[in-house]
Amino acid sequence: MGNWVVNEGLSILVILVWLGLNAFLFWWYYRVYDVPVKYHYSRKLLGSALAWARAPAACLNFNCLLILLPVCRNLLSFLRGSSACCSTRIRRQLDRNLTFHKMVAWMIALHTAIHTIAHLFNVERCVDGRVEAKGTIQAALSDLGDKTGETYLNFVRKKIPNPEGGLYVAFTYLAGLSGVIITLALILIITSSTKTIRRSYFEVFWYTHHLFVVFFIGLVIHGAGRIVRGQTDESLKEHNPHTCEKNFTQWGKISSCPIPQFAGNPPMTWKWVVVPMILYFFERLVRFWRSQQKVVITKVVNHPFKTFELQMMKKGFKMEVGQYIFVQCPTVSHLEWHPFTLTSAPEEDYFSIHIRIVGDWTEGVFNACGCDKQEFQEAWKLPKILVDGPFGTASEDVFSYETVMLVGAGIGVTPFASVLKSVWYKYCNDATSLRLKKIYFYWLCRDTHAFEWFADLLQSLENQMQERDNAQFLSYNIYLTGWDESQATHFTVHHDEEQRCD
Amino acid sequence: MGRIEWAMWANEQALASGLILVTGGVVAVAAQFKGWPFAAYAIAAGVFVCLLEYPRGKRKKGSTMERCGQKYLTAVVKVFGPITRNYYVRAILHAALAVPAGFLLSTILGTACLGIASAIYLLAAIRGEEWNPIEQKPQERPQVGGGTIKQPPAMPPPRPPADTRKKPPAEVAGQENPIPVTIEAE
């Protein structure tokens, strides 16, 4: 239990604070529209549906502010680097940005649903108030604005009955039209973001996700029509709704109850989202600028089992152990960026990634680098590469302890290539200053085929350690979980023989 | 984009549309909005669309994640043969189902979403995609090693007896500290 609190406690705290803020905003803005006398007549016309629509609207403002921030990965990298004073545990929260992004997205979907349903009631009541209500206070309130000098409360002016009236309102008023369009954009974004689609057809997810531009533009103009109306302060001084609502037939005829005047609320959403929108715009600008920096491939190494290594250099590139980069190869695709863990150590003068051929993009890069050819490739024939990064929380904690246990499963072993190489360089540089004295390395994978290059790295490290008389420094244990018929027959035949079994 | 099976996305979109139709329909019927019979239809259409779209089809390439408990509905959907297998039929069906819900504001969002799903299904049909049920694999294992190995081994591979195993004592992973560890005050 204690371990769980240490590992997850800070994340849970962040989520609870976020949920708490959502609940507070919902409650607060519900009361803003449910209590004050300014909206008394609005409530007479619409009931509590007005408050039920405005409360999620406030939460939507808050969540739409938040949703852009976790995907500004360069901004997060900057925060991570500049907060080097803070503990790794705090910095590691920044690595959970995508999870937070998804949670905020679901909250946006929920509040959109509440907001839309409440407004369905509002539209129905507004149209009915204009058309059907006869002799009631709703009729009197809805008639306001018909004569000159009057301001309207009910934004529906045409007397088209429901259900056509509701449809007319939704598609002719800015709030209605923008609302329908952005809700549709949100639904398309969500259906193309499910795990199945993301994992199998990333392009569909990525390109459809750019509908968020439509979403944000529509969101900002959604309130420009000012159709949420309340009584003006000047009117409230002369006309008190509590006393005057009973004689609604006499408004304007008696001196104590002149015609009430109304005004719409100005749009507020832009104040919430303008800063994140600017930050995100700069984020895309930074990504573009970084991608224009020249990257030179210095070496391409072909490894067995469809893996190849790209060693590259870029001016001003700084990395830490265990980080990753995004790579684009315009020769193969102008729009695809793929993440790869850095397998080189910071001490080396180049940075490298190991790429395994699993799909069309990786195969395209393989061919573009000339790995399928036997003869030596000229340097100018190598393709242009764009790099963004590095990102991710570094694993530099490994240097602060005397004994370290590294556990890697499958592809997760790749950052350890960087870690182990960096340890080796520090050891060669000045073994006495290195606090690290013993590494226990555990590696689990189905078979070593995908990571033969890593097995070779371990082997070479072990040899180098033995040369320096420090064979005990690195102790590695490899567990292969794949069951193979050839292994079975091998064991059955050879188990009687005396053998080292490690 | 050569490997996209558009039907996968159309399926997600159609399922979402069904839920939206049901939600809009329930609101309008419960509140008795004008024209609520259209909403009652939307509930029925939404439920039908959800049931039809819940079982995910089998992908041509790679494995497909089943939705929880979908095998019961797969059995039903499979029965209709070419009607449910062909995506042209689904595209036309969804377009037709969407229209009546468009007469009411509460359900028009469902109409728009189902219309988009219908368009994506049309694209899938033009690309020659089809709905194939995900079958339960029979529990027999392929005969490996010419039938001499009947089952995967229940025991770990045999190792030489303990006294012939020559492991240096320091390699006993982690049970004794090769270097004395001192606890430093933090």
Could you give the ipTM of this predicted complex? Answer: 0.83
Q: Are A187 and B20 in contact (CB under 8 A)?
A: yes
Residues of B in contact with A489 (CB under 8 A): 145
Residue type, A213: V
Q: Does B1 touch chain A (CB under 8 A)?
A: yes
| Domain ranges across chain B | 6-126
Chain-chain contact of A485 with B5 (C-beta, under 8 angstroms): no
**pLDDT the model gives residue B179:** 67
Chain-chain contact of A124 with B153 (C-beta, under 8 angstroms): no
Min Cα distance B79 → chain A (Å) is 26
B62 vs B82 pLDDT, higher one: B82
**Which residues are A230's β-sheet partners?**
A263
**pLDDT the model gives residue A298:** 92
**pLDDT the model gives residue B161:** 63
Q: Does B185 touch chain A (CB under 8 A)?
A: no
Q: Are A280 and A72 in contact (CB under 8 A)?
A: yes
pLDDT per position as a tens digit, A411-441: 788 888 899 888 888 888 877 778 888 889 9
**Which residues are B119's β-sheet partners?**
none
Span of A9-23, A343-357, A418-432, B24-38 with lowest mean pLDDT: A418-432
Task: Give the DSSP H or E segment for B122.
Answer: helix B105-126
Judged against a pLDDT cut of 70, whether residue A123 lies above it is answered with: yes
Query: Between the ranges A26-35, A83-92, A153-162, A460-469, where is the mean pLDDT highest?
Result: A26-35
In Å, what is the CA distance from B66 to each residue of A150, A348, B50, B51?
A: 61, 46, 15, 14
Chain-chain contact of B12 with A192 (C-beta, under 8 angstroms): yes
pLDDT per position as a tens digit, A337-366: 899 999 999 999 999 999 988 888 899 999
Chain-chain contact of B33 with A162 (C-beta, under 8 angstroms): yes
Determine how many CB atoms are found less than 10 A away from the CB of residue A411: 12
**Which residues are A403's β-sheet partners?**
A438
Nearest to B105 among A163, A184, A485 (CB): A163
| Average pLDDT over chain A, rounded to an integer | 88
Tokens of A234: 């000047």
Span of A59-73, A203-217, A383-397 with lowest mean pLDDT: A383-397
Residues of B in contact with A475 (CB under 8 A): 171, 173
Judged against a pLDDT cut of 90, whether residue A53 lies above it is answered with: yes
Confidence at A95, pLDDT banded by 50, 70, 90: confident
Q: Are A72 and A283 in contact (CB under 8 A)?
A: yes
Distance between CA A54 and CA A25 in Å, rounded?
10
Give the A window 449-488 contacts with B, CB below 8 Å.
Answer: 472, 475, 477, 483, 485, 487-488
| Length of chain B (residues) | 186
Residues of B in contact with A190 (CB under 8 A): 16
Entry pTM:
0.84
Burial status of residue A75 (CB atoms within 10 A of its CB: 0-12, 13-18, 19 or more): middle
Q: Does B108 touch chain A (CB under 8 A)?
A: yes
Chain-chain contact of A187 with B113 (C-beta, under 8 angstroms): yes
Q: Does A200 touch chain B (CB under 8 A)?
A: yes
Chain-chain contact of B113 with A498 (C-beta, under 8 angstroms): no
Nearest to B116 among A163, A188, A195 (CB): A188
